A = this chain, B = another copy of it.
Amino acid sequence: MRTRLSTRERREQLLAIGAEQFADRPYDEVEIEEVARLAGVSRGLLYHYFATKRDFFASVVDTEVERILRLTEPDTSLPLFEQLTAGLDAYLDYVDHHRSGYRVLHRAAVAVDAGIRRICEASMATQQQRILTALGTHVEPDETVEVAVRGWLMFVITVCLDWLDRPTLTRADLRDLCARTLLAAVGLDQGPGPTDER
């Protein structure tokens, strides 16, 4: 029994199934046949949308990269501390509501080819640049700050993946952990600010 979906809906459905599949197992173990079966379409139709398995995977990654960057678009009119907490809230929202997408982005991508790695690195670079822009009015953006921000992004990814596997912390604790770690990493005192009030 096949469901009639528009081209756009079908594409989104396949990408969502792909995110689930690639999140849970290594790339090599994902079977295109299984994805087609779960979508209720033929293997041929799937290959009509995505020419190769590699293309399919790249589209899954790309979709999630676009989504996370869109959802975490900063409001640069806010003061630094509000931007930090609002940005973290938006980021954790994505992590929470797109668990498979998040896992795909950070677990599967390392194992695959240079093209896909480049997509992920460009996304990291965008996040880093946004943070450096926000910090710009408070700290001199020297090499230490740049390195600290990149390190902190990996810190955030690690604690978020951990949190998806074992949700022992509340989201508020997770957010505060990330916020105070960034401020210390870039050498900003934790000064008074709305970060502490929740």
Contact = CB atoms under 8 A, between A and B. Distances in A.
Interface of A: 110-111, 143-144, 147-148, 150-159, 162-163, 168-169, 173-174, 177, 180-181, 183-185, 187, 190
Interface of A is mostly: helix
B177 A159 contact: no
Contact of A168 (B111, B143, B183): B143
Given A110-B110, A154-B157, A154-B158, A163 B181 contact: no
Contacts of A185: 155, 177, 180-181, 184
Contacts of A183: 184
A135 to B, nearest CB: 15
Given A169-B144, A180-B187, A185-B177, A158 B162 contact: no
Contacts of A143: 168-169
A97 B169 CA distance: 38
Nearest to A163: B147
Contact of A177 (B111, B148, B157, B174): B148
Contacts of A184: 180-181, 183-185, 190
A110 B110 CA distance: 7
For A157, A159, A174, the residue with the greatest tally of chain B CB atoms inside 10 Å of its CB is A159
Contacts of A156: 151
Given A110-B111, A150-B158, A154-B154, 6 more contacts: A144-B177, A147-B162, A148-B177, A150-B159, A151-B156, A151-B181
Across the A-B interface, give the 3 residue pairs with the lowest CB-CB distance, nearest first: A184-B184, A143-B168, A151-B159
Given A152-B155, A154-B154, A183-B184, A177 B147 contact: yes
Nearest to A114: B26
For A147, A150, A180, the residue with the greatest tally of chain B CB atoms inside 10 Å of its CB is A147
Given A180-B185, A181-B181, A184-B180, A173 B144 contact: yes
